[in-house]
Amino acid sequence: METDSVFLQPAGSGAGRAPEGDGGKGSVDGVAMSGNPYAGLVSHLRASWLSGKTRPMEYRVAQLEALGRFLDEKKQAVLEATAADMGKPPFEVELSETLLCKNELRETLNNLSHWMKDKHVDRPLATRLDSAFIRKEPYGVVLIIAPWNYPIYLILGPLIGAIAAGNCVIIKPSEISKNTERLVAEVLPCYLDKDCFAVVTGGVQETTRLLENKFDYIFYTGSPPVGRIVMTAAAKHLTPVTLELGGKNPCYVSDTCDIPNVARRVVWGRFFNAGQTCIAPDYLLCSLEMQGKLLPALREAITEFYGPNPQESPDFGRIVGDKQFQRVRKLLCSGRVAIGGQTDEAERYIAPTVLVDVQPSDPVMQEEIFGPILPIVVVANMDEAIDFINSRERPLAIYAFSSSDKVVNQVLERTSSGGFCGNDTLMHVTLTSLPFGGIGNSGLGMYHGKFTFDTFSHCRGCLKRGMGREPLNAPRYPPYSQKKFGIIQATSKVTRKDDCTLL
């Protein structure tokens, strides 16, 4: 995710080109002009939604199956686009983009009919003879704004849930991953119903205009500063939001642990996608002694994974753009480079790097790194590590490595974060049955699997009563009396286990 505001970016690909059409088309390039350029598109989609087209399960299944076909048929195109955008190794694409999307699809298709069912609930005595249930309803027209680091998964993941819940969707891919943006804008609409799903491309200006429209839900993945802008825009229309943001994910390594395993798992998590992962371990906390033991292990793991010269490894990625490259490269000045540190501007290559002698006030500790740099901050012990973590914004993930269960549990219990993984990195998001989301500065709301479906559904409480049995209602009507009140009390009471009931 971009840690500096997307707002500062120059306008995207749409500038200078006339808009290509109205809401009937799959892809619209926006240009700033008087009157909102997307109003037509949004109302077209809203009309489709009001027509009820997206409600039947068969329709949703058909759209989801089409997404599956997109993933299968366009696999090569996806590999090429992500490689062009940030040198993504094919293995990473398969694992973190395609495979995760497929899992979400399968989980959703397997369970959709169950998820869509009305959920009947327990009733108090007063409504015992009625039908009370929760109906899951689509919100209407939802907007999904995706980032550039996992451009396919972070569009399709939410999209699958939004479609499954019966919504119409406008997708706004990131203009920074240009090739994937083009792929999504040109190819994805061909698989989906153009009356209900559209892709909008463009940069900051276009996104700002887009956000002026009223949506029924907004799902944003990106940085906290832009998250604030999105939520402020949503507030104007009272639009609910899910914000998947980021932060600095701490990784505590205790003095008792299996060092080679720790090193491998941390290196894997940190340097996957060249560090451009929202849940990557951002920095390490350990004692000076442990640092001494870890450094050779980290060096060995890096060599094991990427060879003696990672620039030549087909399994190591690149930074997505020049601006991001400059930003990350500046962070190398913090502390001292213990491993790596080499860069190549032409390729936007930054070597897997470990920094030591890092002070909490250094630049590398002020922002989410989002690059292949791992600073180590020395702490005396676990308590100091926990205090350090708690003195900062709540992160998206916290990692703790220790052979002692007690230590791992202590860190878990005394800190707060979106998610937690003990003795490994990243893995907690691979299970579709687990919710994924942030807390505080790292985000609002959650998704994955059924949670995505629930995110895009409004839970409507429904009660169906009969017209008869009116005398049973008599106690609630005026004129009020103590006797009537007593009856109401008795029939709506929830008895506690230690209360004695006479029935």
Partner 1 sequence: IEKVVRQARAAFNSGRSRSLEFRIQQLKALERMVKEKEKEILAALHADLHKSGRTEILSVLGELNLAMEKLPSWAAPQHLKKNLLTMRDEVFINFEPLGVVLIIGAWNYPFALVMHPLIRPCCVCPVGNAAVVKPSEVSENTAQLVADLLPQYLDRELYPVVTGGAPETTELLTQRFDHILYTGNSGVGKIVMAAAAKHLTPVTLELGGKSPCYIDKDCDLAVACRRITWGKYMNCGQTCIAPDYILCDPSIQSQVVENIKATLLEFYGEDVKSSPDYERIVNKRHFQRVVGLLEGQKIAHGGESDEASCFIAPTILTDVSPDSKVMEEEIFGPVLPIVTVKSVEEAIEFINRREKPLALYVFSNNKKLIRRVISETSSGGMTANDVLMHMVVPDLPFGGVGHSGMGAYHGRCSFETFSPRRTCLIRDLKLDALNKIRYPPVSQEKMDVAKFILLKHCSGCRVGRFLSALLGAVKAVMAK
Pick out residues in 410-439 that bind partner 1 (CB under 8 A): 412, 416-424, 427-437, 439
Is 307 a residue that touches partner 1 (CB under 8 A)? yes
CB 218 within 8 A of CB 230: yes
Closest alpha carbon to 370 in 247, 484, 498, 490: 247
Q: State the catalytic residue, choosing from 278, 286, 368, 421.
A: 278
- Ramachandran region, residue 201 (left: φ > 0; alpha: ψ -120 to 50; beta: rest): beta
Handedness of CA 38, 41, 43, 49 (dihedral sign): negative
Angle at 471 between CA 468 and CA 474, to 5 degrees: 125
Stretch that binds partner 1, among 204-212, 292-300, 318-326, 397-405 (CB under 8 A): 397-405
- Encode 111-148 in three state secondary structure: HHHHHHCCEECCCCHHHCCCEEEEEEEECCEEEEECCC
What three-state secondary structure class fits 332?
Answer: helix
Is 235 a residue that touches partner 1 (CB under 8 A)? yes
Return phi, psi of residue 277, to 5°.
-130, 130
CB 428 within 8 A of CB 419: yes
Residues between 189 and 218 that touch partner 1 (CB under 8 A): 216
Helix (H) or strand (E) holding 29: strand 27-29
What's the closest the beta carbon of residue 360 comes to partner 1, in angstroms? 20
Stretch that binds partner 1, among 197-205, 230-238, 291-299, 318-326 (CB under 8 A): 230-238
Is 107 a residue that touches partner 1 (CB under 8 A)? yes
What three-state secondary structure class fits 437?
Answer: strand
DSSP-assigned letters across all residues of 385-407: HHHHHHTSPPPSEEEEE-S-HHH
Cα distance between residue 488 and residue 223, in whole Å? 52
Q: Is 257 a catalytic residue?
A: no
Among 31, 164, 192, 243, binds partner 1 (CB under 8 A): 243
Indicate the residue among 24 and 314 with the shorter CB distance to partner 1. Answer: 314
Cα distance between residue 131 and residue 120, in whole Å? 8
Indicate the residue among 243 and 278 with the shorter CB distance to partner 1. Answer: 243
Stretch that binds partner 1, among 176-184, 202-210, 304-312, 335-343 (CB under 8 A): 304-312
Indicate the residue among 362 and 393 with the shorter CB distance to partner 1. Answer: 393
Query: How many residues touch partner 1 (CB under 8 A)?
Result: 117
Residues between 121 and 150 that touch partner 1 (CB under 8 A): 121-124, 126-127, 130, 132, 134-135, 137, 139-140
Q: How far apart are the first and last CA of the chain?
A: 61
Residues between 21 and 50 that touch partner 1 (CB under 8 A): 50
What three-state secondary structure class fits 242?
Answer: strand
Residues between 328 and 367 that touch partner 1 (CB under 8 A): none
Would you tell me how many other CB atoms lie within 10 Å of the CB of residue 484? 15
Indicate the residue among 199 and 278 with the shorter CB distance to partner 1. Answer: 278
Is 284 a residue that touches partner 1 (CB under 8 A)? no
Indicate the residue among 237 and 330 with the shorter CB distance to partner 1. Answer: 237
Among 227, 372, 395, 475, binds partner 1 (CB under 8 A): 227
Residues between 435 and 494 that touch partner 1 (CB under 8 A): 435-437, 439-441, 443-446, 458-468, 470, 473, 476-480, 485, 488-489, 492-494
CB 183 within 8 A of CB 74: yes
Q: State the catalytic residue, choosing from 244, 257, 286, 421.
A: 244
Q: Is 244 a catalytic residue?
A: yes
What's the closest the beta carbon of residue 320 comes to partner 1, in angstroms? 20
CB 202 within 8 A of CB 11: yes
Find where tokens 């505080």 sit: 440
Indicate the residue among 135 and 323 with the shorter CB distance to partner 1. Answer: 135
Is 103 a residue that touches partner 1 (CB under 8 A)? yes
Among 152, 155, 165, 245, binds partner 1 (CB under 8 A): 245
Among 94, 186, 212, 300, binds partner 1 (CB under 8 A): 94
Helix (H) or strand (E) holding 461: strand 457-464
Looking at residue 77, the DSSP 8-state letter turns out to be H
Indicate the residue among 137 and 186 with the shorter CB distance to partner 1. Answer: 137
Indicate the residue among 71 and 355 with the shorter CB distance to partner 1. Answer: 71
Is 152 a residue that touches partner 1 (CB under 8 A)? no
Residues known to be catalytic: 244, 278
